[in-house]
C-alpha cells in the first residue's frame, strides 16, 4: 500500500486504538476459547441491534452513490449484513435458546446507542466520503481481527467461536473490505485538508466506539438507572 493513499493515513492514525482492541480481554479470551458464554451472548444480542442500524448505513450509501456500480456494491453489503452476518448471530443465539424475536427486542445499551446514533448522524448530515470513513473501521478492524485469529494455533478448534472467526477471516469479507478501502481512497482524492481531517475524525471516533463496544460486552454494560 503506497503511503500516498488516504487509507494509509487513516490506518496509521487508528493503529494504536486497534491494537488496544486486539489486547482487550474480550478478544484475547475469544481467541483462546475461554470467553464466558454470557459475555458472548450479550455481545451477540447487542451486535444484532447494532447491525440493524448499521445495515441502514449501506442503504444510505447506495442512495448517496454517484454511479450504478457503487450503488450495487452497497446493495451487496446490505444483503450480506442482513442475510449472512445477522444469520450467524441468529444461528448462534438459537443454540442458547434466544429466539429471533428476543434478539430483535434487545434493549440497546448506552454504548450501542452512542455508536449507532453516531453512524446514523453521519449518514444524515455527511457526504458519501464521511459515510465511508465512519463505516470503514467496523469492516477493516473486524477483517484484521478475524485474519489474525484464524492464524492462531487452536483458535479454530473451539466449537463455539470457530464460526465467528471463520466469518471475519473469509476471503469474501476480505474482498468487501478491500473494496471499501479503495472507495475511501477514491472519494478522498483531491479533497482539501479541512475535508480530509473531517474524514479522519469520523474514522477515529468510529474506531474508539469499536473499542468501547468490546469493552461494553466484557462489562455486560447496563443502563445505570
Ligand atoms: C460493533 C461491530 N463492529 C463491526 C462489525 C462487523 N461488521 C458489521 S457490518 C459488516 C459488513 C458486512 O456484513 C461487518 C464486517 C460488527 N458486527 N459489529
User: Ligand 1 centre and the CA of 139: distance in Å?
Assistant: 6
pLDDT digits (tens, 9 = 90+) for 54-92: 999 999 999 999 999 999 999 999 999 999 999 999 999
For atom 10 of ligand 1, which residue has the closest CA?
Answer: 139
Q: ipTM of the assembly?
A: 0.96
User: Ligand 1 centre and the CA of 171: distance in Å?
Assistant: 15
Q: Which CATH architecture has domain 6-219?
A: Up-down Bundle (1.20)
pLDDT digits (tens, 9 = 90+) for 167-206: 999 999 999 999 999 999 999 999 999 999 999 999 999 9
- For residue 50, which phi and psi values (nearest 5 degrees)? -60, -45
- Closest listed residue to residue 97, CA positions, set 49, 37, 51: 37
| Residue in 175, 210, 221, 222 annotated catalytic | 210
Q: Please choose from 24, 26, 47, 132 the residue to mutate so as to test ligand 1's pocket, defined by most ligand atoms within 8 A of CB.
A: 47
Q: How far is CA 1 from CA 5, 52, 178, 212, in A?
A: 7, 32, 11, 28
For atom 12 of ligand 1, which residue has the closest CA?
Answer: 81
Amino acid at each position: 500500500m503506497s503511503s500516498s493513499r488516504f487509507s494509509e493515513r487513516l490506518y496509521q492514525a487508528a493503529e494504536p486504538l486497534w491494537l488496544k482492541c486486539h489486547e482487550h480481554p474480550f478478544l484475547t479470551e475469544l481467541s483462546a476459547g475461554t470467553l464466558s458464554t454470557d459475555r458472548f451472548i450479550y455481545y451477540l444480542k447487542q451486535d444484532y441491534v447494532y447491525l440493524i442500524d448499521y445495515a441502514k448505513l449501506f442503504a444510505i450509501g447506495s442512495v448517496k452513490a454517484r454511479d450504478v456500480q457503487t450503488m450495487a456494491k452497497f446493495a451487496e453489503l446490505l444483503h450480506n449484513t442482513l442475510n449472512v452476518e445477522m444469520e450467524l448471530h441468529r444461528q448462534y443465539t438459537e443454540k442458547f435458546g434466544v429466539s429471533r424475536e428476543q434478539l430483535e427486542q434487545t434493549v440497546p445499551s448506552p454504548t450501542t446507542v452512542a455508536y449507532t446514533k453516531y453512524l446514523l448522524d453521519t449518514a444524515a448530515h455527511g457526504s458519501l466520503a464521511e459515510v465511508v470513513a465512519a463505516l470503514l473501521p467496523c469492516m477493516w478492524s473486524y477483517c484484521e481481527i478475524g485474519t489474525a485469529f484464524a492464524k492462531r494455533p487452536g483458535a479454530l478448534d473451539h466449537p463455539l467461536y470457530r464460526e465467528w472467526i471463520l466469518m471475519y477471516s473469509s476471503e469474501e469479507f476480505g474482498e468487501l473490505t478491500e473494496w471499501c478501502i479503495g472507495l475511501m481512497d477514491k472519494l478522498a482524492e483531491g479533497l482539501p485538508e479541512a475535508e480530509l481531517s473531517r474524514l479522519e475524525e469520523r474514522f477515529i471516533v468510529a474506531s474508539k466506539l469499536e473499542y468501547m463496544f468490546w469493552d461494553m460486552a466484557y462489562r455486560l454494560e447496563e443502563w445505570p438507572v
